Amino acid sequence: MHLVTAERDALLKPIQTVSGIVERRHTLPILSNLLLTKTDGELSFLATDIEVQISTKAQCEKGQDAATTVAARKLLDILRALPAGANVSMELNNKKLNIKAGKSRFSLQTLAAEDFPTVSQSAEFKAGFTVGQKSLKALLALVQYAMAQQDIRYYLNGLLLIVEKGQAKVVATDGHRLAFAALAVESDVDRQEVIIPRKTVIELERLLDDSDEPIRIDIAPTQVRFQFGNVELVSKLVEGKFPDYNRVIPTGYKNSFSIAREELIGCLQRAAILTNEKFKGVRCVVGDGSLKISCTNTDQEEAQEEAEIDYSGDAIDIGFNVTYLLDVLAHVKSETITVALGDANSSALVTTPDNTEFKYVVMPMRI
């Protein structure tokens, strides 16, 4: 049975869009497959790992409706390896998916579409809002790197999204550092607070482009749904209580200085050469007019860096995990950043002059 004939890129793009979430090893082997469904001149592509599901579609010739599932990885690799612009046809014969392009022939095993477990969508999507794709992409980029990874406090392995009148806020933390950002949106819904799983956040950021095309976000009690272009992404939410982020964002720190972002990145990267897997600490000594950054390791090696800053506050000698500092510097875009400090045992607050809605809090490290 004929499924589709199209130029390679017309098929490759939707397959790339959905297959990012396919797990290589899952207890349900069928989940390493994509669900292909042909109806009414449209071929839809769907992938899921039970937690999150992405679907998109491509135009195809009208014809008999059909559905099957086939290994995502192989399909992707084949299409990628075919020459750009090649004309590709797919047929379903005897439970095999036959792919033809030029003189290339592939015959892939399929599993029955009826056995494919799709995520059933909640009937209760109420709170929602629409923003431009690039605004959301930029918002996620400001905080997603601070999410925990496989933390036993499972609610940290995700991103807190708060929607309230006129505003969407996002917060991510791994318990040692926290990133907060907010965006004005048109929404007139009651306040909603949900935790979006890490994998969904990362996949979403990957799929969004730098355009003003709209993305619609809808929230149900246990699900969140993103619709943009031809793509629909539905994800379970993380149950649990996110820690009170307001409590840990310091206010009223008296000691602060501004510094060129690139300059600070340079100092930290050079000092970090002498750190190692087990010990990522750098020492920062802030004094009159200068910031000294140093790093010593167990082999008694030492790196020293110094930057001029406009500072006349308390002298502070404080340690940090250099990765936590480099992370934030890599993800904000402004020319300069501002660092505010309390004392050697209190968190540091990093802000940027161009976005007053961004805050990054990082705890010190004992050196």
Interaction site with another protein (CB under 8 A): 27-30, 111-112, 115, 117, 173, 175-178, 243, 248, 277-281, 298, 319-321, 324, 345, 347, 361-367
Helix (H, G, I), strand (E, B) or coil at 29: helix
Q: Which of 132, 136, 138 is nearest to 211 (CA)?
A: 132
- In the bound state with another protein, the residue whose beta carbon lies nearer, of 129 and 320, is 320
- In the bound state with another protein, the residue whose beta carbon lies nearer, of 52 and 322, is 322
- In the bound state with another protein, the residue whose beta carbon lies nearer, of 189 and 367, is 367
Amino acid identity, residue 267?
C
DSSP E strand boundaries for 40-189 = 42-48, 52-59, 66-71, 87-93, 96-101, 104-111, 127-132, 158-164, 167-173, 177-184
Shortest separation between residue 165's beta carbon and another protein, angstroms: 28
Q: Other CB atoms closer than 10 Å to residue 357's CB: what's the count? A: 15
What distance lies between CA 61 and its chain's CA centroid? 35
- In the bound state with another protein, the residue whose beta carbon lies nearer, of 17 and 173, is 173
- In the bound state with another protein, the residue whose beta carbon lies nearer, of 101 and 148, is 148
Shortest separation between residue 154's beta carbon and another protein, angstroms: 12
Shortest separation between residue 53's beta carbon and another protein, angstroms: 16
Alpha carbons 343 and 341: distance in angstroms, whole number: 6
Phi, psi of 265 (to 5 degrees): -60, -45
Shortest separation between residue 281's beta carbon and another protein, angstroms: 4
66: Cβ–Cβ under 8 A, 6 or more apart, which residues? 1, 3, 37, 38, 92
Judge contact between 229 and 216, C-beta under 8 A: no
Helix (H, G, I), strand (E, B) or coil at 16: helix
- In the bound state with another protein, the residue whose beta carbon lies nearer, of 19 and 347, is 347
Work out the end-to-end distance of the chain between its first and last CA atoms, rounded to an integer number of angstroms: 67
Alpha carbons 360 and 338: distance in angstroms, whole number: 10
Alpha carbons 364 and 361: distance in angstroms, whole number: 10
Shortest separation between residue 228's beta carbon and another protein, angstroms: 31
- In the bound state with another protein, the residue whose beta carbon lies nearer, of 128 and 281, is 281
42: Cβ–Cβ under 8 A, 6 or more apart, which residues? 57, 58, 59, 60
Judge contact between 99 and 90, C-beta under 8 A: yes
Shortest separation between residue 151's beta carbon and another protein, angstroms: 12
Shortest separation between residue 30's beta carbon and another protein, angstroms: 5
Shortest separation between residue 351's beta carbon and another protein, angstroms: 17
- In the bound state with another protein, the residue whose beta carbon lies nearer, of 126 and 153, is 153
Structure tokens at 302: 């030492």
Shortest separation between residue 363's beta carbon and another protein, angstroms: 4
Q: Other CB atoms closer than 10 Å to residue 259's CB: what's the count? A: 19
Alpha carbons 127 and 22: distance in angstroms, whole number: 28
- In the bound state with another protein, the residue whose beta carbon lies nearer, of 11 and 271, is 271
Shortest separation between residue 120's beta carbon and another protein, angstroms: 16
Judge contact between 22 and 62, C-beta under 8 A: no
